[in-house]
Structures are given as C-alpha cells and as structure tokens.
Amino acid sequence: MHTRFIVFLTVFLGLSFINTSAQTNIIDEIIWIVGDESILRSEVEEQRIRAQYEGVTIDGDPYCVIPEQIAIQKLYLHQAELDSIEVNEGTVMNQVEMRMNYFISQIGSKEKLEEYFGKSMLALREDMRTMVREQMIIQQMQQKLVENIKSTPADVRRFYNSLSEDSIPTVPAQVELQIISFQPPVPQEEIEAVKERLREYAERVNSGTTDFSILARLYSEDTESAKRGGELGFMGKGQLVPEFANVAFNLTDPKRVSRVVESEFGFHIIQLIEKRGDRINCRHILMKPKVSLTDKQKAMHKLDSVSNVIRSGKMTFEQGVMYFSQDKNSAMNAGLMLNQRTGTSKFEYQDLPQEVAKVVYGMNVAEISKPFTMIDPASNKEVVAVVKVKSKVDIHKANLMDDYQLLKNFYEETKKEQFLKEWIAKKQRETYISIDPAWQNCNFKYPGWSKK
C-alpha cells in the first residue's frame, strides 16, 4: 500500500491525518469566522497536506491561500442556501460510488479501507457525500451567477483589439480527420468457444468448487475490476449498458451466477453481491472473442484497395465512407471524426486515439494513410482504419478569422471571472468576517476580508 496514496485518501475523505506508525495530533482552533460559519485550523492543515501529496503548487503562503479559498466556498454555499440551489442526490451518489470504487481498487478491499480509517463504509460514504455535494452546489451557484453573460461579434472584436500581443491566446496545433473503419468479422467458432469457457466458469462457481473472484482475477479482460475480483461497486441501472443491467438487476441469489450476457464490450457472466435500493453491487467476468490474424489481414487488404481507388480519383473519400465504413459516429458525417471533449471536429494531437495520432502526425492535408489497426473508443473493439487529413493548423496566435469561437469563449470566460471577483468583493462587504490576529498577516487575493 503506497503511503503517498493513503495520505491523499485520508485528506480527500476529509478525515484527520493518520499515519500507520502514529497519529499526528493537531491542536484545533477557530481561525476564521465567515457569517455563521467557522473555519478550523485542522481544515487548513488537511487541505495543505492534500495539495502536497497531489503535487499541487499553492501560489503563496498555504496558511493564507487555503483559509481564503475555504472562506470563498462558504460565501457561495450561503448564497446557494438563500437561492434554494439543490443538486440531484442520485448524481451525487453516482460520483461518490465512482470515487469510492477507485479508492477501494487502490487500497485493496472494502475491509482494508474500513480497518485503516476505523470507520464503516457507510460513514466513509457520508463523509464523501458531503464533500461532493458541496462541490456540486458551488459549481451550480457559480453557473447561475454568470448564466446571462453573453457576447456579440462586436464585443469579441473590441476585446481582441484591446489585447496586447502577449495577452493573445496561443492556439495549439490542431487537425481535422475523416475516417473509414471496418471491424473484421469474428469467427463464430471463436464466439462459441468464449461462451463455453464462461459457462464452464459459471458451473464451477455454482457447484461451489471455485470462488468467482478468483476466476475474475485470473481470466476477466476487464482489467480494472479484475484487480478487485470482478467487483464493480454500487451502480445505478443507467450506469450500466442495458444488456448487462437487465440481467444484473434481475439476479436475486448471490450464490448463483447469471447466464452468459452479450454486450458491446464482449461476453459476461455476473454474480450478485448486494442490492441497495435502486443500486446494485456485482462481480463480472468479461471475455472478448478475438479476430483471427487471417481475417485481420483480409480487412487490411480490403481497406488498402479502397484507399488506392480513392487516390486514383475513381471514388471520393466520402463515397468510400458511405460504402465501406462501419464507424457509427462518423458514417453519416462524411467520415468526419468528432472530438467528444470539445464537440467540434478539431483535435489537438493528445485528444486523438494514440494509434491515430501516430499515423497522422507526419501527414499532409488531403493525404490518405495506409491501413492500420486501432481500438475504437466507442465500442472498445479492434478495427482496421484509414484516415484522411481534412485540415491541419500549426500552433499560432489566435486571430478573428480562424479562431473566432475560441476568442469568443476566452472573452466570455474573462467576463465571468471578473463578475465573480466583483460578486465576492460585494459579499465581503455584506458579511460578518472575523480573522484571528495570528492569521491576518497575509497578502490575500481578495483584500476585502479585513474591514479595519
């Protein structure tokens, strides 16, 4: 168990700092009062340690920066209470379970997590629920405050013209790509062999001769859950693909294993661990039928022939997409790949699938690649693909003609940041604030804390 991770987890969960050899005792005291809320020295220590072990650089004295950040959060939370800002508790719990599952995977098991902190999983979840809920409330409060900040083309133009050369944002190198991808067929014999192996594993568990978690660690191709014996952690039905969820949520006997289930990720068998309201915790074993080398080579040869026909001018790339591509996300868009992070067709190289980035880095506009294999991000299956570079932009200073949307976003974010600064200054004037004299010798980001 890594000490660095344990310290991070301790602080992340909002617990007193704990060391395996001895507990660090912090003499607690109230150092700030903001309205009706107090800020404790222990809160500051916890966040300081968390930043240290996350490798986060604090710009300034942490004993000045951190309490100021906590005070700002309290201003937002107080306003959110006045405005009746609420968050979806289901969304909160989804986030909590995702984080708890991650921590369990790092520390080894739920039992080890409970043993280390001397708290039940229920108590640990409640600590994290409070933290996640407050984070989401603050985010919603900020969004509400700035929701009416918009811009016109004239606003953006005036803003751009007012920027000094050093202030104009730099646009990283970007590329637009069209893709034709084809998934080689998996032999039926391979599919039946995988299903038979899973049926065999299910029978071994049902007969009591083998533990499901041991088989998951040995054979499951879901590498993350395999580390936990196939355990997925508590999830709602909407978090699971429908085929899997329909079977998992109908399981009632933790000693019995489900039938073989097919999903877009492959084939599964599932074992119920526990149901809790509309959430379920289960184990699974995932296996993926493999494409034969012969079929993969046939697909490569097919796409090579297609790309040669396109290069010869007898067929356009768009026609190649229409006739041959199996990429559901781009087939109806002339093969144009869409960046899920930005919602546009432009990619920075680090946003591309690794296999694609390697292929296109040295290509020119309108050039078509040789066929290559990649893992399709949508289906998580291996496909054969060719790509065409539709456009390519080198790193450059932003300009109105090529980068209007980026500049518009930059302008609006600048306006929102300025609005929130002014809102905080206003709240400082309206709110009772008291700071312990020992904590006042600070160069605060927002000078309005002291009302002398």
DSSP codes, 226-265: HTTTTB--SEEGGGS-HHHHHHHTT---TTSBPPPEEETT
More confident residue, 113 or 421: 421
- Asked if pLDDT for residue 125 goes beyond 90, the answer is no
Tens-digit pLDDT profile for residues 248-294? 999 999 999 999 999 988 999 999 999 988 889 999 999 999 888 88
Mean pLDDT calculated for residue range 295-318: 93
* Phi, psi for 307 (deg, rounded to 5): -65, -30
pTM of the model as a whole: 0.67
At 90 the pLDDT is 82
Percentage of residues of the chain with pLDDT beyond 90: 63
Range ranked top by mean pLDDT from 107-111, 125-129, 425-429: 425-429
Averaged pLDDT score across all residues of the chain: 88
At 22 the pLDDT is 32
- Asked if pLDDT for residue 372 goes beyond 50, the answer is yes
Sign of the CA dihedral running 354, 95, 120, 275: negative
Residue type at 52 in one-letter notation: Q
Mean pLDDT calculated for residue range 64-84: 95
Percentage of residues of the chain with pLDDT beyond 70: 93
The helix or strand, by DSSP H or E, that contains position 271, with its residue range, turns out to be strand 266-276
Residues β-bridged to residue 375: 382
- Asked if pLDDT for residue 7 goes beyond 80, the answer is no
At 12 the pLDDT is 56
pLDDT band for 379, please (50, 70, 90 cuts): confident
Domains and CATH numbers, the chain: 3-149+421-449 (1.10.4030), 174-185+292-397 (3.10.50.40), 188-287 (3.10.50.40)
Mean pLDDT calculated for residue range 373-390: 87
- Asked if pLDDT for residue 390 goes beyond 90, the answer is yes
At 19 the pLDDT is 39
pLDDT band for 442, please (50, 70, 90 cuts): very high
Q: Are 270 and 248 in contact (CB under 8 A)?
A: yes
Kindly give, in sequence order, each residue whose CB lies less than 8 Å from that of residue 177, ignoring residues fewer than 6 positions away.
Answer: 336, 337, 347, 352, 356, 360, 387, 388, 389, 390
Mean pLDDT calculated for residue range 167-180: 93
More confident residue, 36 or 23: 36
Residues of 233-261 as b/e, b for ≥16 C-beta within 10 angstroms?
bbbbeeebeeebbebbbebeeeeebbebb
More confident residue, 101 or 172: 172
- Asked if pLDDT for residue 247 goes beyond 80, the answer is yes
At 128 the pLDDT is 87
Nearest one of 194, 201, 358, 218 to 291, comparing CA atoms:
194
- Asked if pLDDT for residue 29 goes beyond 50, the answer is yes
At 452 the pLDDT is 55
At 332 the pLDDT is 80
Point out the least confidently predicted range of 121-125, 215-219, 318-322, 377-381.
377-381
> Cα–Cα distance between 369 and 349 in angstroms, integer?
16
- For 124, what's the count of Cα atoms within 13 Å in the CB-facing half-sphere? 23
* Phi, psi for 26 (deg, rounded to 5): -105, 125
At 118 the pLDDT is 77
- Would you tell me the crossing angle of helices 404-430 and 153-162 to the nearest 10 degrees? 80
More confident residue, 345 or 103: 345
Residues β-bridged to residue 170: 397
> Cα–Cα distance between 258 and 253 in angstroms, integer?
10
At 47 the pLDDT is 84
At 23 the pLDDT is 38
Mean pLDDT calculated for residue range 428-432: 94
Terminal Cα-to-Cα distance of the chain (whole angstroms): 50
At 199 the pLDDT is 97
> Cα–Cα distance between 178 and 387 in angstroms, integer?
6
- Asked if pLDDT for residue 147 goes beyond 90, the answer is yes
At 257 the pLDDT is 96
